[in-house]
Amino acid sequence: MNRTLLLLYKLMTMVGLFWSMSAFPGEIALTFDDVPLPGGNVMSGKEKTQRIIQQLKNRGVNEALFYVTGKNVDEESSDRLSDYVNAGFYLANHSYAHKSANKVSVDDILVDAYRTHLTL
């Protein structure tokens, strides 16, 4: 990991914008990127959320981590994020605009992550 990314990781961890968790022996960590998932032609975003929750529960998955991209959060999707939390799952910060970290400054990354922190 290059020095800038290491510093960024340490700063974000210190201010609670980023954290990681490890699975216990014999377990895996299940994560989902870029939620809330938008609706599509086949089903609405709410239907996708309910289907994901139901499928995880049907398979005995009691813990999952959903990384939230802040720009995707609106009034409707806020309800869906609450559905994940109410089902016992976790939300984590996945930045606001999902910019490529190697194309923006460290300050831009921190501001971007903080915007999502405030949104959550």
Strand order in the sheet with 90-93: 31-35, 65-68, 90-93
The pLDDT of residue 85:
92
CATH architecture of 32-119: Alpha-Beta Barrel (3.20)
Task: Please state the domain extents for the chain.
Answer: 32-119
The pLDDT of residue 87:
93
Cα 19 from chain centroid (whole Å): 11
Name the stretches of the chain with pLDDT < 50: 1, 15, 18
Give the tens place of pLDDT for each residue, 59-88. 888 888 888 888 888 877 888 889 999 999
